Structure 1
């Protein structure tokens, strides 16, 4: 009875968790703070950050260590910031400025991996930074843009993140080009999660819409300013 996992599945999961513990522990220890609940939360973290993303990031850093140590260090700093934010409770609200910074760290890591295939544009309205948003709501959306826009396309994709204050609301958009011939991307689970958490925080004042128009996939959100 019971289910068995293929050995490589178990070892991959264990390896990812071990790497996560190592990176987070080293970073937090070096900064003189290692909260007691860190290791416990790392297990939950696995559901938020894909293990193969972690492996790719660490492999990129290892590959860079000899040829470009400064860039390798920058990548590991971006990764450590990603972990630090991911260890925040999902129930907490944060500022949009913090979420934009986290998305910058994430895309900087992916930029090392994809190079010129990932073309990022930021259009951030400085007046939007203090808007309250759910923790870790933006990173899964830019991750989706990379997964469905950049990964399947040999020429890569354009990813744009924009924020704009319009009266009493803040409009947040994540847009990516879609490879030709590809239908509506299956962004489902992550988007449903973000939409639900926006509504939990802001109720009817939150809006969440998606559209695929002329080869551009866009997620458009509104929150109170």
Structure 2
């Protein structure tokens, strides 16, 4: 199935070296993450803009004219910008270490690093002869205060992820074990027990894996390989149900499998492809799952054909759910797109590696 017509950027490239059909991949436990995840572009941009806004206001107090304000703002920026960048780099570099500590301890370290970073920024001005040495204490205290505000914002951001992830996980759990899906799966297994017992056993094993992933305690992010494995179990169950009506194509780049995703985020996209592509079509549909690494970005696409004239009906809750959870984890670095063109529907995700 060709999906190059979906949007201007939805283009399938030729399989890269190291790309092969989907196989069972081991589940890797993700590292625990710090609440102060300052390694993301969105966080860095917001922190810099916030500090620059403080600089603009502070410069007003020592300026008698517009040019004086511009000059004062340039002087303060010379100290504030290196300081905030040093703070962001320090917290990002200590991310793994900080993740082992309590939120209180992380906050204390963040504020202390803010004071040290401000001390460093002001030291640059003193070294260049643009400031006197009498304001060392003021600069350090100001750095601690600004860092405290940034730390508070990052803690709130971290807490905002938890309820959204929990609510989404419960919704996906309910969708996955909804009665008709379980009923159809068990009926398929019963029909296979006598004639093809090995196939029935595989079907029940796939169902068991689905429940194991749904009921397991998950971390904030899981590797793409785990999400692909979960999708493989789901499609194996649906393959028994639909037979030749469900045609599955895999194009998996193993070099992209370390990318992190919110847990239980890929399977609902695959489920939507089956629901809107295969179920309403008497002749079936093609479902294609592809991953590809492009530099530091991983592109994930779930594509399915749609019966002519049927469109993609639904309230869009699953897609909105995925979009919001992706934004919570990857912020501006995560991209989500979906489109229906010429009876081909595609969902495309871009995440940092």
Using the size of structure 2 for normalisation, the TM-score is 0.50
What residue number does 1:205 align with? 333
More helix, by proportion: 2
By how many angstroms is 1:87 displaced?
A: 1.2
Change (3 A) 1:140 1:49: farther
- Of the candidates 241, 252, 268, which is equivalent to residue 140 of structure 1? 268
**For 2:304, which of 157, 164, 176 is the aligned residue?**
176
Look up the SS of the partner of 1:73 in the other structure. Answer: helix
1:89/1:135 contact within 8 Å kept: no
Contact 2:172–2:264 under 8 Å retained in 1: no
112-121 vs 52-61, which deviates more?
52-61
| Cα deviation 1:43-86 (Å, max 9, x = unaligned) | 98334432211111111111111111000000000000111111
**Rg: which structure is higher?**
2
Does the Cα contact within 8 Å between 1:90 and 1:136 map onto a contact in 2?
no
- Cα distance in 2 for residues equivalent to 1:116 and 1:66: 21
Please, which runs of 5 or more residues in structure 1 have no aligned partner? 1-40
Check if 1:64 corresponds to 2:192. Answer: yes
Task: Single out whichever of 157-166 and 181-190 deviates more from structure 2.
Answer: 181-190
Q: In the alignment, does 2:220 pair up with 1:106? A: no
Q: Write the distance in 1 (CA, Å) between the matches of 2:242 and 2:185.
A: 11
Correspondence for 2:255 among 92, 109, 127: 127
3-state SS, counterpart of residue 74 of structure 1: helix
Which secondary structure does the structure 2 equivalent of 1:67 belong to? Answer: coil
Q: How does 1:1-225 map to 2 (within 5 A)?
A: 45-89=173-217, 92-186=220-314, 188-225=316-353
Q: Distance in 1 between matches of 2:201 and 2:316?
A: 34
Q: In 2, distance between residues paired with 1:47 and 1:91?
A: 20
Mark the runs of 5 or more structure 2 residues left unpaired by the alignment. Answer: 1-168
> Higher relative CO (CA 8 A, sep ≥ 6), structure 1 or 2?
2
